[in-house]
Amino acid sequence: MAADPVILLADAGPLITLAYADALDVLLLPGWTVQMVDMVLHEVTRNQTPTSRKIAAWVAQHQLPIRETSILRRYTEALAAGEVPRKANLGELAAQEVMTDFALLTEPPTGVFLFEDHKIARAGFLLPEGCHKISIRAFLLFLEQKGWLASAAEVERKAVQAGRAFSRLRFPAEAYGAESPEGAG
């Protein structure tokens, strides 16, 4: 019997970090289906940044499916109506919406949501059964342990050297205290 399908969704932080490191392709290494949440893609491409074009080109190159959400629809409707809608946490809310949709399927996939922001790790982020939130660091270490990535630390180092202000919090937070020790991985 085949394993349940896995759908990988990334928040803005991991996409930006991996784009700085020229390592977006690591998202494809496990062989899972990679999909984009429309609001997250909007967040990382709506302004010209050092990574916005890289991310947009990567998504187009791999013809990644875009999961439509009511969050982006409502956001764009508000803009069109001349309102100034809030921006904070909309990508995360949209990812939650997508994963809730997974739970409503007859045969739900396993959903994996990659995050970077330590606030998400601590937040009340409701995920249905079969869905998981995983830090980008934990994901990179998983890839390294499987032998699919030479060095998780090297990806992080490249991102930082390219100018990414990468979260210094390590997971699980209890293992390191509130912040990571200086010079840790």
**Cα(108)–Cα(168) distance, rounded to whole angstroms?**
34
pLDDT in tens, 111-154: 999 988 665 555 556 677 888 889 899 999 999 999 999 999 99
Tokens of 135: 């830090």
Complete domains list, the chain, with CATH: 6-176 (3.40.50)
Distances (CA, A) of 174 to 61, 121, 179, 185: 39, 12, 9, 16
* Overall pTM surpassing 0.75 (yes/no): yes
pLDDT in tens, 51-96: 999 999 999 999 999 999 999 999 999 999 999 888 888 998 899 9
